[in-house]
Chain A
């Protein structure tokens, strides 16, 4: 089957580091996306990983392990504005190519 799992909610403190995990099961795999969505706003693109390893973009990094069907989003030096929902989406490959979306992880950053 096709499935994405990520934690529903997480809480962290301003200035800290938080890791949001995502596991996926797809019939074929062609990459994984992370999006950030603030309440009442559009999801905005954060990262796309198709090869194993860590990709860093400023305070945000994304990691992928294809063999384990696992990704994580790492947020460093947390700021209050990082409070948002973080959506993981795996790009299925094969006869039914489409994006499989997770439910999103709601991150609350406290002072």
Chain B
């Protein structure tokens, strides 16, 4: 139990579907992240939020849309995905932005996404 909870753990969706991944952190952290983890690739940072404001968007396709309604919750809305988007999507949080102070990142268990 890391204090970061993700749902669903597994998701299979068609290329025309719309679905959302949900993340909740119970640590009182100010920063939240979405990462993509694919086989044989390093972790890819997708989105960063600090105090509910998006601070970084690493050229992620618009078919991925993040939402941060408050400092404890983070969503990743998915629509018209491609099979190559199949991966493990990890949510994470840290007390403050890791790039400013070396704050430790705490990861959720991840959502395994399969696009068919």
What is the interface of chain A, defined by CB distance below 8 A to chain B? 4, 30-31, 33, 35, 41-45, 48, 50, 87, 89, 91-92, 97-104
**Shortest distance between the CB of B46 and any CB in chain A (Å):** 12
**Shortest distance between the CB of A71 and any CB in chain B (Å):** 14
Identify whether the interface residues of B are mostly helix, strand, loop, or mixed. Answer: loop
Instruction: Provide the bound-state CA to CA distance between A102 and B44, in Å.
Output: 10
In the complex, chain B residues whose CB is within 8 Å of the CB of A103 = 40-42
What is the interface of chain B, defined by CB distance below 8 A to chain A? 2, 4, 40-43, 45, 56, 90, 98-100, 102, 104-110
Q: Is the CB of A45 within 8 A of B105?
A: yes
Q: Is the CB of A101 within 8 A of B42?
A: yes
Q: Is the CB of B100 within 8 A of A97?
A: yes
Given contacts A42-B2, A43-B90, A44-B107, contact A31 B43 (CB under 8 A): no
B97 closest partner in A (C-beta): A97
Instruction: Provide the bound-state CA to CA distance between A91 and B40, in Å.
Output: 21
**Shortest distance between the CB of A79 and any CB in chain B (Å):** 21
Q: Is the CB of B43 within 8 A of A87?
A: yes
Most buried by A among B2, B41, B43, B106: B43
**Shortest distance between the CB of A9 and any CB in chain B (Å):** 12
Instruction: Provide the bound-state CA to CA distance between A104 and B37, in Å.
Output: 11
Instruction: Provide the bound-state CA to CA distance between A35 and B106, in Å.
Output: 10
